[in-house]
Amino acid sequence: MALWKTVGNSTLDGVSRVADLDASKLTITLSETLKPIPPRDTWLFGNIMTDHMVVAEFDPETGWSNPEIKPRGPLSLDPASSCVQYGTTVFEGMKAYIGPDGKPRLFRPDMNMARLARSAERMALPPFNIDQVLVLIKQLITVDRRWIPSSSGYSLYIRPTLMGTRMGLSVAASDHATLCIFLSPAGPYFRSGVKAISALAVADTVRAWPGGTGGHKVALNYSPGFLPLRVAQKQGYEQILWLLGDDMKVTEAGAMNIFIVVKRDDGEINLLTPPLDGTILPGVTRDSVLALAKAHAAGEIILPGLQQTLRIHAQERTFTMDDLWRWSADGRLLEAFGAGTAVIIASIGKIGFKSREDIILAEHEDGLGPLANAFRTTILDIQEGKEAWKDWGVLVDEL
């Protein structure tokens, strides 16, 4: 699949060649007044925004405009814009951290950029140069650097967003687009901190389906889950466990990828997550958990709190609600946890389904099971620059 990495829209119509996104043409207008940074105990996920944003616009005649960094504020959108009428919005979730050296850094941003290009392509939005988007993100972080928190577990959440802005109601691809990148300081995703969450498994509404958009980060994957979430919350659960098909395959948990830990007959453990069959978001944290589990199994690292001799068999494999009930009844279901950029890792302590008895997982003192804790600690240490692993940590200063 083409990632539309470097070309302008010459690939769209085969005739015109228009300007590509070019970070070297960035103009910066700084805000005259900088906001005070609110105290951390008032930060909920995404409720506070920094001072500036990046904006660039695509026009099919001229291509990408010169990108701007300017004071953060509302965008002007025609109510007949494609993103308003037909939901042509795709986005990414990333985070910036301050390392012990005082330098801001990103975590595996190349994965987010590649996914943004794939999501844009899936929604037939105009192409753009992903390397230039990353340069713009780094420039914005540099401008709003004072907002990056330095305490562990806190970070600056980055939301690159691409919207279809063609004005008109014809049911077709948007040939105009706006790229907007903004930042929000973030603490723990759930109010409960790292306490285990509960999830209600639902089979009558689905998050994604074969051939749909579940494997892409499009806005429309999220909003249809708001009503089922409200229903689940009324029943006392905090998240939805998304199922798919008559066999009730377990797919995702809320807006997170899901992992389960199952004890095997030989005493070793399986770490299972559903395969990327097009219905599952290819999460950066998901990929990192799998890679770290494999590195532990290969003796390349020792995950904190786990014995070096503990064999973890990481597998991308389908499992169903029946499997969960069976493994739970047999005492083999050791852990369940969600993984995502916003949350990092959240243990799931209880899974409900209609009138059946809840699956209750073992409680852990600090809310996280041993594997969930090992992955969270390791990923956070790499993100916060306390540990180096492969090329996962990327310095913002290296433009």
Q: Which stretch binds ligand COI (CB under 6 A): 49-57, 97-105, 328-336, 337-345?
A: 337-345
* Nearest distance in Å: CB 339, ligand COI: 9
Q: Does the protein bind ligand COI through residue 340 (CB under 6 A)?
A: yes
Q: Which stretch binds ligand COI (CB under 6 A): 29-37, 290-298, 334-342, 377-385?
A: 334-342
Q: Which stretch binds ligand COI (CB under 6 A): 226-234, 327-335, 336-344, 368-376?
A: 336-344
Question: Restricting to residues 69-98, which ones interact with ligand COI according to CB under 6 A?
Answer: 93
Residue type, 46: G
| Residue 388: strand, helix, or coil | coil
* Nearest distance in Å: CB 269, ligand COI: 25
Residue nearest to ligand COI (CB): 93
- Per DSSP, helices labelled H in the chain are 10-13, 82-86, 109-122, 130-143, 226-234, 284-297, 321-329, 370-383
Residue type, 184: S
* Nearest distance in Å: CB 337, ligand COI: 14
Question: Taking a C-beta distance cutoff of 8 angstroms, is the pair 156, 105 a contact?
Answer: no
CA distance 271 to 105: 29
* Nearest distance in Å: CB 212, ligand COI: 17
Burial letters for 276-296: b for 16+ Cβ neighbours within 10 Å, e otherwise? beebbbbbbbbbbbbbbbebb
Residue type, 101: D
Q: Does the protein bind ligand COI through residue 342 (CB under 6 A)?
A: yes
Q: Does the protein bind ligand COI through residue 221 (CB under 6 A)?
A: no
* Nearest distance in Å: CB 354, ligand COI: 26
Q: Which of 158/248 has CB closer to ligand COI?
A: 158
Question: Restricting to residues 228-287, which ones interact with ligand COI according to CB under 6 A?
Answer: 255
Q: Does the protein bind ligand COI through residue 341 (CB under 6 A)?
A: yes
Burial degree of 21 (CB within 10 A; 0-12, 13-18, 19+): buried
How many chain residues interact with ligand COI (CB under 6 A)?
Answer: 6
Query: In degrees rounded to 5, what are phi and psi of residue 26?
Result: -60, 135
Q: Which of 241/334 has CB closer to ligand COI?
A: 241
Q: Which of 245/282 has CB closer to ligand COI?
A: 282
Q: Which stretch binds ligand COI (CB under 6 A): 230-238, 326-334, 339-347, 378-386?
A: 339-347
Q: Which stretch binds ligand COI (CB under 6 A): 180-188, 206-214, 322-330, 340-348?
A: 340-348
Cα dist. 268→3, 37, 141, 146, 271 in Å? 40, 48, 43, 46, 10
Residues in contact with 52: Cβ distance below 8 Å, sequence separation at least 6, in sequence order: 30, 31, 69, 70, 71, 72, 140, 143, 144, 183
What is the DSSP code (8-state) at residue 43? Answer: P
Q: Does the protein bind ligand COI through residue 162 (CB under 6 A)?
A: no
What are the residues binding ligand COI (CB under 6 A)? 93, 222, 255, 340-342
